[in-house]
Amino acid sequence: MRKVLVIGAGGQIGTELVMRLGDKLGTENVIAADVKSECPLGLKGSQYVELDALDRDKVRSFIINEKITEVYLLAALLSATAEKNPDFAWRLNMEGLFTILDLAKEGYIKKIFWPSSIAVFGPTTPRKDTPQRTTMEPTTVYGISKQAGERWCEYYHQKHGVDVRSIRYPGLISYTSLPGGGTTDYAVDIFYQAKLGNHFTCFLEKDTRLPMMFMEDAIRATIELMEAPIEQIKIRSSYNLSGCDFTPAEIAREIEKHIPTFHISYQPDFRQAIADSWPGSIDDSEAREDWGWKEIYKLPDLVKVMLENVDVHLLT
Ligand code: AKB
């Protein structure tokens, strides 16, 4: 009997993950939690509870009382926001993780999903086809917190047998909710401006290549990883995962095929330095070998589906 709690469910990943888990396990077995008192719009129809990932006592008693077996811990500040609020980012990104790892160590939770990111890499990492194991010297608060989190996940697995599983997500592209505070957010914003017929000013340079993934692939990967037999999970820090990679100029050219009047210009801000420190493409051969990962969406399909589905009303 599985009973799942998704913490930080109101964000870009959570809203889609809760829906998919509900379809799979039944909505009575999936609880969405977020810090807001009102259930976020994207989670309507699911069981919702107000839960602050930093409120250790409340999180503990909720999980124990509700007999939760699996936790997806998504609450975090992303790269750009974290640079503006480093103390809070470190607290949120680390303390919530310890609460959940400890509950698993004590036997209350059977399985944990915790997202890492390509932000664990840094300027000294090889940028092209970045391997699973390589130099990792992240230069952002977010990247440092994700790298530390990865080490703790592996530690709790090795020392305490905790079944924690993780993916280093690339930039995620989706249309059901807006991303918040990431360096890869331009690749979502661009679709709303294109659909509105607006000129798009990109905060990254035209040739900045970054790894990206369509949300449907990311959710499928998350569920496949969590459902893989335990003996197939050989990496307990976090798996590299690749969908596609592109530059702002390349995505703009693809959008122009559908909207010939679309126009983009470039005005890099502080996020350029963050993007410059990250890989341009990822080698995910270990995820492919260990649990059979394979992406579906490449840039042309992703652009087509996004343009068909983005709803500009989400912006209001
Ligand atoms: C961000 O841009 O901060 C995130 C990420 C790559 O983890 N989308």
Compute the distance from residue 101 Cα to the ligand 1 centre, in Å: 23
pLDDT in tens, 198-226: 999 999 999 999 999 999 999 999 999 99
Domain 4-170+213-240: top CATH class: alpha beta
Residue nearest to atom 7 of ligand 1 (CA): 117
Q: 27: which DSSP letter? A: G
What SS3 class is residue 126? coil
pTM over 0.85: yes
- Out of 3.90.25, 1.20.58, 3.40.50, 1.10.357, the CATH code matching 174-212+243-282+296-315 is 3.90.25
User: Is ligand 1 within 6 A of the CB of residue 76?
Assistant: no
Query: 82 to each of 88, 139, 145, 181, 208, how far by Cα in Å?
Result: 8, 12, 10, 8, 21
Angle (CA) 142-145-151 rounded to 5° is 140
> Residue 306 CA to chain centroid, in angstroms?
18
On average, the pLDDT of the chain sits at: 97
Q: Residues spanned by CATH 3.40.50.720 within the chain?
A: 4-170+213-240
pLDDT at 17: 98
In this prediction, residue 315 has a pLDDT band, given cuts at 50, 70 and 90, of: confident
In this prediction, residue 255 has a pLDDT band, given cuts at 50, 70 and 90, of: very high
Burial class (CB in 10 A: 0-12, 13-18, 19+), 153: buried
Estimate the share of the chain in helix, then strand, then coil, as percent rounded to the nearest 5.
45, 15, 40
pLDDT at 6: 98
In this prediction, residue 233 has a pLDDT band, given cuts at 50, 70 and 90, of: very high
Ligand 1 pocket test target in 147, 169, 203 with most atoms within 8 Å of CB: 169
User: Is ligand 1 within 6 A of the CB of residue 175?
Assistant: no
Quick one: what percent of the chain has pLDDT higher than 70? Answer: 100
> Residue 203 CA to chain centroid, in angstroms?
20
Compute the distance from residue 199 Cα to the ligand 1 centre, in Å: 24
pLDDT at 1: 87
Query: 148 to each of 118, 255, 259, how far by Cα in Å?
Result: 13, 38, 43
Over residues 57-73, the mean pLDDT reads: 98
Residue nearest to atom 4 of ligand 1 (CA): 182
